[in-house]
């Protein structure tokens, strides 16, 4: 299962129960009857998409109580600003070809520096994503059901935007004749591959914990079905994540070294032509 599929699985697990709380905005209840709660003002939050994950009825989680709307829950998250980004989570991801066109003319040094800057942003978004998930998980099933799909939507937009910038830089560096620039392009592609694997593991781990929470709150114990990780599998996933993080840091270190080599080569050329 790739990262996109894992995200789609996570993103609509609340949709099945859109009519199960006051102020329902759905046109039809899950039973097929018309919802009498009346319309709700349109939300500015990202709309969750993907396969529904059933977390059970809200009454099955005695710890949930009245947890409030998704908007209210999100405002409680310390990580909300990082997840939304400068555009508040509303901006569409730039197309890769548009990014290439915009960045064309940027020198090799500038392109590599932009990738390193995007890497730091990605680290911050990873921390915010994991922190928001743990915060909602600790508030109970109802909070997780209402707000987590929006968290996933926000994180998806941020990660996609970062990847577009990084891939565009790699494409432009690969067009250069300089060997160091081409080496940098290869390192960036490796970095992207590692980040994709990392995101896949994180999404799968979150999905398993959501399923576990759903089964726990419904009183049926852990989900024994396909896709549920046993304790040993969870430990293996944590090990894989640690190994991938180490590979990512090594790749970033090599990219910084390549950046120094590009700078030195350009300094030498400037001295020779002086």
What digits encode the pLDDT tens for the residues 26-35?
333 433 333 4
More confident residue, 33 or 72: 72
Integer angstrom CA distances of residue 75 from 45, 94, 153, 210: 12, 27, 15, 21
Phi and psi, residue 184, nearest 5°: -60, -40
Gap between the Cα atoms of 262 and 169, Å rounded: 15
pLDDT band at 238 (very low <50, low <70, confident <90, very high): confident
- pLDDT for the residue numbered 88: 60
Residue 225 pLDDT exceeds 70: no
Integer angstrom CA distances of residue 21 from 26, 143, 175, 214, 215: 11, 12, 55, 17, 20
| Spacing of C-alpha 271 from chain mean position | 45
More confident residue, 17 or 244: 244
Q: What integer is the mean pLDDT of 102-125?
A: 96
The model's pLDDT over 128-174, given as tens digits with 9 standing for 90+, comes to: 999 988 888 888 777 877 888 888 888 888 999 999 999 999 999 99
């Amino acid at each position: 299962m790739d990262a996109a599929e894992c995200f789609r699985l996570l993103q609509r697990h609340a949709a099945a129960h859109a009519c199960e709380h006051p102020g329902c905005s759905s046109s039809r209840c899950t039973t097929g009857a018309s919802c009498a709660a009346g319309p709700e003002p349109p939300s500015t939050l990202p709309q969750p998409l993907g396969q529904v994950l059933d977390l059970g009825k809200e009454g099955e989680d005695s710890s949930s109580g009245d947890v409030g709307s998704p908007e209210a829950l999100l405002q409680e998250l310390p990580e909300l600003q990082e997840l939304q980004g400068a555009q508040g989570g509303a901006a569409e991801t730039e197309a890769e070809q548009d990014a290439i066109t915009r960045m064309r003319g940027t020198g090799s040094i500038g392109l590599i520096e932009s990738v390193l800057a995007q890497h730091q942003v990605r680290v911050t978004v990873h921390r915010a994503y994991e922190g928001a998930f743990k915060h909602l998980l600790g508030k109970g099933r109802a909070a997780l059901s209402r707000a987590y799909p929006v968290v996933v939507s926000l994180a998806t937009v941020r990660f996609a935007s970062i990847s577009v910038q990084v891939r565009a830089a790699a494409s432009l560096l690969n067009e250069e004749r300089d060997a160091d620039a081409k080496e940098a392009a290869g390192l960036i592609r490796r970095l992207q591959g590692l980040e994709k694997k990392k995101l896949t593991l994180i999404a799968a781990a979150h999905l398993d914990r959501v399923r576990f929470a759903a089964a726990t709150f419904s009183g049926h114990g852990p989900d024994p079905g396909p896709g549920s990780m046993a304790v040993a599998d969870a430990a293996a996933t944590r090990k894989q994540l640690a190994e991938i993080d180490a590979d990512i840091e090594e790749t970033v270190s090599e990219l910084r070294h390549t950046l120094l080599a590009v700078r030195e080569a350009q300094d030498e050329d400037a001295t020779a032509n002086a």
